[in-house]
Amino acid sequence: MSSATGLPNIYSVELSPPDISGYASGNTGIPYIWTFDSGVAGPHVAITAVVHGNEPCGAIAIDWLMQMNLRPLRGALSFAFVNVAAYEAFDPEVPDATRWVEEDFNRLWGEGVLDDPDRRVTPEVERAREIRPWLSTVDLLLDIHSMQHKTDPLIIAGPTVKGRTLGGQIGWPGIVVTDKGHAEGQRMRDFADFADPASPRNAALVECGQHWEAEAADVAKDCCIGFLRATGAVAPDFQQDRMNARPPKPETKYYEVMQPVTIETDNFRFAQDWRGFEHLKQGTLIGHDGDREVLAPNDPTVLIMPSRRLWPGKTAVRLARPIEG
Which stretches does DSSP call E strand in the chain? 33-37, 44-49, 76-81, 140-147, 154-158, 175-178, 202-210, 253-262, 268-270, 279-280, 285-289, 292-295, 301-304, 315-323
pLDDT at 194 over 60: yes
What pLDDT score was predicted for residue 2?
A: 39
pLDDT at 148 over 50: yes
CB atoms within 10 A of CB 18: 18
> Confidence band (pLDDT; 50, 70, 90) for 1?
very low
Q: List phi, psi (to 5°) of 293.
A: -80, 140
pTM of the model: 0.96
Of 68, 104, 113, 107, which is closest to residue 83 (Cα–Cα)? Answer: 104
What pLDDT score was predicted for residue 6?
A: 53
Q: List phi, psi (to 5°) of 134.
A: -70, -45
pLDDT at 117 over 80: yes
Q: What percent of the chain has pLDDT over 70?
A: 98
Burial grade of 218 (CB within 10 A; 0-12, 13-18, 19 or more): buried
Of 179, 106, 200, 191, which is closest to residue 145 (Cα–Cα)? Answer: 106
CB atoms within 10 A of CB 22: 9
